[in-house]
């Protein structure tokens, strides 16, 4: 598990900061930053969602942050998945606006959480 934690943490950092650098360069070259930031949400969020689901399904880290992260991020992905299959529920129409505001903070918090947990877990071994 310690190998997974190290790979997960460094992958999260590489995707987050790598996409910021490459995305900004691409956006400057194309002179349009909106698509870059829109794709950034899904690129970083997708990697974090996979990491989150692996940790939850393996029973690893079921503390308060992981529960709150799931409660805040899973509705966003479920909403977009339902819209992809043309299932529109008007009650959930506020979720994309909420996601635009919450996702950047959740992404940064998840990276710090992975760093802190991986260091504390590696110290115990």
Integer Cα distance of 22 and 3 in angstroms? 27
Integer Cα distance of 45 and 39 in angstroms? 10
Whether residue 104 has pLDDT greater than 60: yes
Average of per-residue pLDDT across 101-109: 84
Integer Cα distance of 10 and 43 in angstroms? 15
Q: In the chain, what are the domain boundaries?
A: 2-124
**80 — pLDDT class (breaks 50, 70, 90):** confident
Question: Model confidence over 37-61: pLDDT tens digits?
Answer: 777 878 888 888 888 888 888 877 6
């Amino acid at each position: 598990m310690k190998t997974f934690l190290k790979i997960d943490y460094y992958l999260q950092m590489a995707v987050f900061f790598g996409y910021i650098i490459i995305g900004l360069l691409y956006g400057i070259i194309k002179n349009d930053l909106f698509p870059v930031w829109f794709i950034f949400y899904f690129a970083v969020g997708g990697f974090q969602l996979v990491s989150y689901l692996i940790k939850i399904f393996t029973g690893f880290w079921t503390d308060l942050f992981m529960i709150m992260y799931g409660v805040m991020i899973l509705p966003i992905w479920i909403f977009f998945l339902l819209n992809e299959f043309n299932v529109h529920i008007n009650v959930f129409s506020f979720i994309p606006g909420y996601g635009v505001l919450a996702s950047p903070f959740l992404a940064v918090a998840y990276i710090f959480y992975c760093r802190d947990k991986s260091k504390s877990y590696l110290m115990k071994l």
